[in-house]
Structure 1
Amino acid sequence: MEHTATTRRSVLAGLGSTAALAGTGTTSELLDEGATDTLEEIEILRDEYNISHVYADDLYALAYGNGYVQARDRLFQLEVFRLVAKGESTSMLGSGQLASDIMVTRDLYTEEERERMWETASPTARETVRGFVDGINRKIVERAAEGELPAEFPALAHAPEPWEPTDVVAVVAYEIGVFGVGQINELRQAREFQELRDALDDEAAFEAFGDFRWLRTKDGHYTTIPADELTLESGKTNPESLSEVPDEQLAFAEAAAGAEIWGIETDVELPEDLELGDRTGFGLLEEFTFGSNMLHIDGTHTESGRPIKWSGPQMGKFLPPVPYEIGLHGAGY
């Protein structure tokens, strides 16, 4: 295994240039929480599969090593996700990200709301996030000082900015808000149902809508849902007939056709999904959506004859992929 070590001297040498590069104003911001010596408490090893393993005795140091190693391997990707999650990605990646930034600023959280989430987080979460953020910032300093920032930064005339705890909150909120809650499409479905009602009689429209927007797994499907799990969280079961649909819900469907979309104040042409209020990825993360966590390909379909296990296809076909594999050892882990 390869042992990674960094001296205090190399960090201090890069602080001034990196503070100017990242626009931090002062170098002391990058040295919070003992950032100049935490690496001395950490051992970082790399195994034969090139997977990093961080060893530390306390939670802060363990998280620090995690952030440090991820910034070593994925610094540009970290910056992209930070900006996407805060609705600021257009500033670096251009107008193709406009739909994404509108969705985030319209549907997710403001910086003030993220601050409140951070302030009310548990002590364990705060210690972990502080360590992770400080580790990222330490590596940003080192890479800038050594002239080893990823080529994408100068190509895009963008410098990586120091991470704040609320940046982590933003990324988590984005992943939950888009990846974990996406594909609801309520307005789109209401419009589809009303279009069927306009074309067919109400009963036929209800049956047709259930053919392609079903909540209950069909009997002939490859999986089943136990009968005791057919009740929705609200306590109401799926309607069996149109007569069970509340009049208020039918009125909402009728109103959907003329609904005006809020939160879009631009004449620029935007994706229909955004205009309909769909919670999904746009731009660079267009393929970031709900789905399976792993893609398995049987050996009968590969040249080598061996099966292939590949990433999480619902997170897009990035190289490197969105998931990051690392071993964290110590502090109860």
Structure 2
Amino acid sequence: MNRVARISLLVVTVLLLLILVAAAAFTAIMRRPFPQTDGSITAPGLQAPVDVYRDDYGVPHIYAANEHDLFFAQGYVHAQDRFWQMEFWRHISQGRISEIAGSSTLKSDIFIRTMGWNRMAENTIRYYEENEPEYLSVLQAYSDGVNAYIAENRDQISVNQTI
């Protein structure tokens, strides 16, 4: 084999190895966001064991001994399945979608801020604090479930959240 052929073979081999490594890394990164659908998860903040079953369509069914654990598990499962969507809608409702999508959505942000969606949400929370505080415990349990998922799975957050 002449020198040119050997160098060509070496270059092709190195390129194939690089492509293989890149494909493996891409696959590993893209599979990270899939939720755990079997086994056990221990989440600090639960008062009693909670069972979460997924049907053939992947829809979670939550069985809990009390209301706190039900909403905690609901928040945990929502974050597990839809964290990217929750974060996306949070940005939209605060008039901050341009932080993700760029300047093309700036008019939407201005409109949403003008409409005061975030202010309305804050007023709603204030209303519940003053008039119906029992509902806040449900919202807090749900939020605690979301935050528990984030705290336990920071390295599993999907690729679109790491960008």
TM-score by length of 2: 0.67
- Measured against aligned partners, the alpha-carbon deviations of 1:181-222 in whole angstroms (never above 9, x if no partner) come to xxxxxxxxxxxxxxxxxxxxxxxxxxxxxxxxxxxxxxxxxx
1:5 equivalent in structure 2: 40
Distance 1:84 1:130 in 2: 22
The letter of the residue matching 1:7 is T
Aligned residue among 84, 88, 96 for 1:80: 88
Q: Are 1:89 and 2:124 counterparts?
A: no
1:98 equivalent in structure 2: 106
- Measured against aligned partners, the alpha-carbon deviations of 1:5-58 in whole angstroms (never above 9, x if no partner) come to 2235xxxxxxxxxxxxxxxxxxxxxxxxxxx23174321111222111111122
Matches within 5 A, 1:15-54: 36-38=44-46, 40-54=48-62
Unaligned runs of 5+ in 1: 9-35, 156-333
Moved over 6 A (4+): none
2:135 equivalent in structure 1: 125
Distance 1:49 1:153 in 2: 25
> SS in structure 2 opposite 1:7?
coil
TM-aligned CA distance change 1:154 to 1:39, over 3 Å: farther
> SS in structure 2 opposite 1:55?
strand
Query: Residues 45 and 144 of structure 2 are in contact (CA less than 8 Å); yes or no, is this contact kept in structure 1?
Result: no
> SS in structure 1 opposite 2:156?
coil
- Measured against aligned partners, the alpha-carbon deviations of 1:146-170 in whole angstroms (never above 9, x if no partner) come to x211110223xxxxxxxxxxxxxxx
Aligned residue among 73, 77, 91 for 1:69: 77
Q: CA deviation at 1:110?
A: 4.6
> SS in structure 1 opposite 2:113?
helix
1:153 equivalent in structure 2: 161
TM-aligned CA distance change 1:148 to 1:54, over 3 Å: same
The letter of the residue matching 1:58 is N
> SS in structure 1 opposite 2:58?
coil
TM-score by length of 1: 0.34
TM-aligned CA distance change 1:39 to 1:53, over 3 Å: farther
Q: Which has the larger radius of gyration?
A: 1
Higher relative contact order at CA 8 Å, sep ≥6: structure 1 or structure 2? 2
Matches within 5 A, 1:1-333: 3-7=38-42, 36-38=44-46, 40-111=48-119, 113-121=120-128, 122-144=132-154, 147-155=155-163
> Greater helix percent: which structure?
2
Give the aligned CA root-mean-square deviation in angstroms: 2.1
Q: CA deviation at 1:63?
A: 1.1
